[in-house]
Homo-oligomer: A and B are copies of this chain.
């Protein structure tokens, strides 16, 4: 063996001579080998995990693409069945409804049977994890399969169920990242492992969004805005790197699959470039943002009320506890019956898929003006060149269908989001917003058929598609409390000409929504009773005045070095803390470090009375035996302000900090205390 190593290394001595006889140009070979060795060393240093980031991006892109591919085939099959089944209304109705019902029930049953935590979007849970809480098993790789299969079925149910894939993809991507992170050579200590894991998760969230839309910029920004309150520029770069790998791979696969000729935007728009809009239209864009803000508040409010209703009503409570697939099937039946194209579905363009919905709403022609000149027939099948035929109804007109769509989808989306299966809640909101914008734009186009400013003879017709774009960005921005939805809208369409009006609409919607309601994801966190730290906004000035001593918990159990083992056993058995602060002596309470319960227990248990006097031993005598005392890296003083404490908790992702005064332990602050203090900040308790 040693000989072989010697040969391979070829450093000196006879093996080299041997090797020189074997290969041509031994020197050049050696040099190349050295060079490669050096490159390898440079690239694959410990701590540099760019190859993980590439792997993560590429894998997620392949998964996303494969899922799209499978789902589109299944949806095609459904459409084919629906078409070929003939004119019998009952059969048609059945073929329309049974399919999504089966898909949704299977999705619910399958995912819930494997892990209950695979349902839902996954974004709220990721928010909680990234704020420092450890949710057991939530990032376990066994969820991966359940979520993947479940999500595919959800998407295969098509636009009947009207759900997307962004949220679950963030979750999938994070699971994959956590798995890859565990595979990787683990770093030195617990603390750095946690930091590394966090870095990977932040990048993974960006990859999740980027591989769904093929949009790296908004992927990174959206995940930052939703996930964290603070971020490091270093994480942001890593996110970009990973997201671009994912987005590139995703679009590349589309080219290889001959869906597109080259890497291009998913939804191409053809808005005018020279004069995309007249100046006064800015006002209407901002107004649209205001409307979207109000609508998003209403949406969040109704969603919360409905979730509370589900939790309170005994029928639904029982159904959701024991027969989740049944609940899903019932909801799917309602949704599918309503969208049946030969009944109400006719008035809400229900034959369109999710992508076609968005595509049709971005049309830069005004349907209202088009339908004045011609009244097209309802085609037998969806006409990809004239998607607006789906929205047109001779009696209802396009205003009727759009209004009906908005009215019905409002509660249908809320209903759909309560199905306990893997599904994304962003895309429906995005499309709903586009519909709001579309109707707004169509109304404007009807009022000003020749554009707004016509005094100089040039006619700039109003483009309702631009309003649809702004509406989508504004409504989804209001619901999720983010601004980067504006960037997403541009990245999806490949045109940047409406940057100012769309951004203003999104800001307006955010201003309204953030004032009145928590974000959609925070809503779910509250409903699911997940641990969560409310935000302290800069405007809450009195958060500077409340100091730690006013809201810390002074009832802290400490272990003193000079206490007897009997006392220690009593303390450990009577409390359930994970770790105890170790103090110098009972009297002085000078903080020394932390002891983990898990380390302490064996010491107390495994040596039962080797000497009769053992229970009279002092703790410090036992500690020298091998129980590690962890040093404390950070302590607060009683004078630290609430604002600063909150800041530290958010940034350092901590769950508990000790408060010391002149070295003495005087209390601790955990999320519980902090939450209470923040709540009191908003509603100060009445002075007694």
Q: Report A's interface with B, CB cutoff 8 A.
A: 45-48, 187-189, 191-192, 195-196, 199, 215-217, 224-225, 228-234, 236-238, 240-241, 244, 247-248, 251-252, 255, 261-265, 268, 270, 273-279, 282, 460, 483, 487, 490-491, 493-497, 499-501, 503-504, 507, 510, 535, 537-541, 544-545, 584, 590-592, 631-641, 643-644, 647-648, 651-652, 660, 662-664
Contact = CB atoms under 8 A, between A and B. Distances in A.
Contacts of A504: 244, 248
Nearest to A543: B192
Contacts of A660: 635, 663
Given A191-B544, A631-B638, A651-B651, 4 more contacts: A188-B545, A261-B275, A264-B497, A491-B499
Contacts of A633: 636-637, 639-641, 644
Nearest to A243: B503
A1 to B, nearest CB: 31
A660 B591 CA distance: 11
A631 B639 contact: yes
A241 B507 contact: yes
Nearest to A490: B496
Main secondary structure of the interface of A (DSSP, over half): mixed
A592 B639 CA distance: 11
B229 A232 contact: yes
30 contacts: A47-B539, A188-B545, A189-B545, A191-B644, A195-B538, A215-B499, A217-B487, A229-B232, A240-B507, A244-B504, A244-B507, A248-B282, A248-B500, A255-B279, A261-B274, A262-B279, A263-B277, A263-B279, A264-B276, A265-B497, A270-B273, A494-B499, A584-B662, A631-B638, A633-B637, A633-B644, A634-B634, A635-B637, A635-B660, A662-B663
A544 B186 CA distance: 14
B635 A199 contact: no
A513 to B, nearest CB: 12
A501 to B, nearest CB: 8
Contact of A662 (B188, B192, B279, B590): B590
Contacts of A278: 262
Contacts of A45: 539
Nearest to A227: B233
A233 B244 contact: no
A592 B634 contact: no
A223 to B, nearest CB: 11
A305 to B, nearest CB: 25
A590 to B, nearest CB: 5
B264 A279 contact: no
B663 A591 contact: yes
The 10 closest A-B pairs by CB, nearest first: A663-B663, A631-B639, A47-B539, A633-B640, A47-B541, A192-B544, A590-B662, A48-B539, A494-B496, A496-B496
A499 B263 CA distance: 10
Contacts of A631: 637-640
A670 to B, nearest CB: 18
Contacts of A199: 538
A503 B244 contact: yes
Contacts of A497: 264-265, 494
Given A264-B497, A483-B240, A191 B48 contact: no
Contacts of A244: 500, 503-504, 507
B500 A251 contact: yes
A2 to B, nearest CB: 31
A239 to B, nearest CB: 10
Contacts of A264: 274-276, 497
Given A217-B487, A251-B500, A663-B664, A231 B229 contact: no
Contacts of A247: 500
Contacts of A537: 234
Given A191-B544, A538-B47, A539-B48, A273 B263 contact: no
Query: Which of A230, A537, A540, A636 counts the most B-chain CB atoms under 10 A from its CB?
Result: A230
Contact of A491 (B187, B496, B535): B496
Given A264-B274, A662-B592, A663-B663, A233 B225 contact: yes
Contacts of A664: 663
Nearest to A232: B230
Given A217-B499, A262-B279, A264-B497, A483 B641 contact: no
Nearest to A193: B544
Nearest to A633: B640
Contacts of A539: 45, 47-48
A192 B233 contact: no
Residue among A45, A244, A493, A535 with most chain B CB within 10 A = A244
Contacts of A637: 631-635
